Amino acid sequence: MKKTLFLFLSLLFVLLVTAQDKNFPLLGKVVDSASKMPLAGASAFCPNTTYGSVSNNDGLFFLRLPGGGYDLVVSYTGYERKFFRISNNQSATDTLIVELVKEDKTMTEVSVVASNEVADGWNKYGNFFMENFIGTTTNASLCKFINPEVLHFFYSKKRNRLKVTSKEDLIVYNYALGYSIRYQLDSFSCDYSSNISQFTGYPLFAEIDTTAEVKTQFLKNRARTYLGSRLHFMRSLFDSTVTEDGFILEKLDGPNNSKSTLLTDIYNTADYAADSTGDVTIGWKGTYRVSYKSVLPDKKFLEAFKLPLTTRYQITLLDMGNGFVIEENGYFYEQSDVINTGYWAWKKLAEGLPYDYEYE
């Protein structure tokens, strides 16, 4: 009892101290939904960041995050994962109670029995998976996939579709950007009829420990990767510096989006609004073209899409239905409402930077 009280008082002290700086604290407790008993060893982390924690014997976990918005994933073996959206607008003294529900394995077992798992899946589809998961960029060539044996490949001849699953986290070392990545793969699929592949999941980044000289090169590579990226664009939108940062924004209309209108005054319109918490709401609908002029596109992209090697802009198309909200670190929601094709879509895990990355 004394140990628990001491821990609580210690965490409360940290909460009060961190509430005074630009970071914000998050205290949570993980319990079984039925018994309400604490779950020790539960994983709690913010995807696309370097911030993660594990619950102690009392089910408590603690994170101290830079200002902005994040997703939070809480998981425990044998239980269903839970997801939350958090930000520094939340109260610093509230404890997030996470009630996890035990998994119903009945349907999963039936699905496995009826599936079409490929016995030599990695040998047959491994390269294809790597190209569509890690990418084919210059950075991708410097990535190492540590545990491919945890993957399971399923092919449906009737649907002409490939599905890849994993019950363990995928481990990738990115020796271009200096991160090790622990990736909880939610789903990976490819429809061969439409030649469309997509994947979703939850990456947790960690710095690779190395020499000062190599770290300096990591920082240069990160800066090069950041410039023109979706993260860069969202932060520029939030800061009202889109044009100054090298982006060109156009609204596309007409048959096959053949007509384009250059948007020169983005911020003084009804489609751009900052609320009292500082969040920025973008009310765009339709198709927009985002061009970035300050860094040349990767030659591998130009070769893959048979574009002239003299192309000077990184070009991405955004299709939006209901707009989105941006927070100060570049996090935005709902991300599923913003579909990007072109340069950003070509970039995969090898180009990933965490939300707590700061451009220097």
How far is residue 209's CA from residue 211's CA, in Å, rounded to a whole number? 7
Q: Quick one: pLDDT at residue 297? A: 94
pTM of the predicted model, to two decimals? 0.88
Instruction: Give the pLDDT of the chain (360 residues) as one tens digit per residue.
Output: 444 444 444 555 444 444 445 789 999 999 999 999 999 999 999 999 999 999 999 999 999 999 999 999 999 999 999 999 999 877 556 789 999 999 876 555 445 445 689 989 999 999 999 999 999 999 999 999 999 999 999 999 889 999 999 989 999 999 999 999 999 999 899 999 888 888 999 999 999 999 999 999 999 999 999 999 999 999 999 999 999 999 999 999 988 888 999 998 899 888 999 887 789 999 999 999 999 999 999 999 999 899 999 999 999 999 998 889 999 999 999 998 899 999 999 999 999 999 999 997
Q: Quick one: pLDDT at residue 2? A: 47
CATH number for domain 2-102, candidates 2.60.40.1120, 3.90.1150.10, 1.10.3720.10, 3.40.50.720: 2.60.40.1120
